[in-house]
Structure 1
Amino acid sequence: MVERASSAGAPREVSAALAPTDPLGALNQAFLDAYAARREAVLAGIEPIIAQIDDSLILRRGGRRFEGPARTRRYHELKVVAHAPLAVHALLSGRRGALDGAARGRLAELRQRIAAAAADLDGRGFTPEQLARQRRILGASLALLDEASAAGGVAPEALSAFTRAQTPDVLLNAEDAARDQIETMHATVEAWKRDMTPDERERLRAVVAVSHMARPGNVAAQYFSITLGETWQGRFDQEDLRPGKRVLTAEATFDEAEAFALLATHALDAGVATRFFGEETRLSRDILADAAERILAGMFHKEPEPPGEAGAGG
């Protein structure tokens, strides 16, 4: 809303939007209604179609809706533990001087939650190797928090050494999480495809709901690209806009607060990625992307096409 002076000199509010009573506003609404109706008709005509939204796969086929799993609880357990050292880094990085009262309070709360998680690892069904890894990650995080609490902070060199020491275990958790999602999705999709006609399998499309920072290399987008016969670029895989594309990604950031938060996310993730992985843009693609590329290459005996080579010479 913008204030402008009226002819009498008094400020009045002027909106750029057309009022519903404006003939052009009414015409625009007619367009939106017609477009929405046509979109529904087109959607019905392009079935079957699968959507991956968080932990679920949703199939629309023949006017019916089916739902199946895209991930198991193991996926989330592995990712949560991998987030612990990132939380420690976020709390302790960029500080000058001793921790203040608010920071100490957050440190104590984080320590309590990590300790509770560490005490609850048994009985979750981890393999022996996975269980040892989760204990290493959480134990190292607790140790650094205790050091910071005792000293009133942590030296940048010590924090850097901590992040690099956690990287191998964090990436192993990412690989196991990627495998969980790929194998779970594959079981669901293959079960659905067995009930489809050859024509339906040929026409099958997929849409993947993604966040902005995890768009390139998204696990589900990679999976659908390779299983539906699309161009697959491995960990750098992302949507292109060529006609006939069978795998789409859905991302929306139209809210002002979200737009500003996105700028902050880019800045924060660049610093975290540099410290943990030595690659500023590492968190601009799915943290599971590299692992997904390796798993899919082994599963389908195929190598990804590097960016820029897809369709070359065509």
Structure 2
Amino acid sequence: MRAGATTKILALALSTATLLTGCSLKEPPRQVAAVDRGEPVAVQELSDVPSLEGKTIGIAAKDILHDYSRVVYEQIQQRIEELGGKAIATQAEAKDEKHLANVENLITQAPDAIVVILGDAQTLTPALAKVDEAGIPLFTIDFQSEYSTNNVTSDNWNIGTTLARTMAEDIGGEGKILVFNGFPGVTPCRIRYESLNLVLKDYPNIEKITPELQDKYEGTIEDAKNQIQDQLRRLPEGEVDAIWSCWDMPLIGAAQAIDPLDIEGIGLYGVDAEPGALDLIQDPDSAYQFTVAQPTKSIAATSASNIARYLAGQAELVPSTSYAEPIFVTKENVEQVRSDNGI
């Protein structure tokens, strides 16, 4: 069953406002005040945030290979500069060792703070311990760390469970699914995958096809396309009811494998609202059913504002985690979401 009742409820019930909270499959969301401590935070006016004049902020991003990472990377630099600060920006081209080296190189430049955007916890934690030892405040985006003063992230438990429940209900609570699972060390993907497994406990008639598929950062779309083509050749016709991924890029490749064959009954479910994914969701003939837009500009602005407050001696105003609520995108609401959010 494709684009079932649950998806239609989502399209009607979920607002496309940038930051929301309290939403579920059947419950309309409420708006959030910008100053809610530890709650989703709206982009605040620059007049509400202390100046970063004379401050240098180091930025270490894992990559800018997909739209989410690129926009966050660009926007946090812009926000720091708008607040009067200087940004030293590095990105590691999705290479873990280069990401680690970039962090260590920033330490030698003794910035007033360092921001880390995404990363593999096992690889990066030793470098973050060095940041702490150097007495440099560490801020993170989509990266949970014991050394982080503040982590700005989407509510990935909400994303993960809603993604999984929507998929499960769209296929009628039974069938077989293919799962891309290549990044257990990346916090958002780990949470979304754990949420999938948690939700599937309530859907015992849904089976994950094993072995799970391994996605990768470089050449993602073509690699995923090839993997799905192999699966379609290997598995009996009608064996696959849905394909899940913690991000959109593999599913763009999956759609490239499935859509030309005009196969009915396979739905694709991902996260990030990549422009290519939104184009496919907007196409009524594509298998792509569902993605989740994250408020990238607000995530970047919130991180910069928290840095400014902390460096201005307002640490009591900086929560350990700032949550940004997601926007759920379906075939029914995709045009409205794109129009409202400029994506």
With structure 1 as the length reference, what TM-score do the two structures score?
0.25
Larger radius of gyration: 1
* Bigger RCO of structures 1 and 2 (CA < 8 A, at least 6 apart): 2
